Chain A
Amino acid sequence: AQKITQTQPGMFVQEKEAVTLDCTYDTSDQSYGLFWYKQPSSGEMIFLIYQGSYDEQNATEGRYSLNFQKARKSANLVISASQLGDSAMYFCAMREAIQGAQKLVFGQGTRLTINP
Chain B
Amino acid sequence: EVQLVESGGGLVQPGRSLKFSCAASGFTFSDYAMAWVRQAPKKGLEWVATIIYDGSSTYYRDSVKGRFTISRDNAKSTLYLQMDSLRSEDTATYYCARHTGGYWYFDFWGPGTMVTVSS
Are A and B part of the same complex?
no
**A binding-site residues for B, Cβ under 8 Å:** none
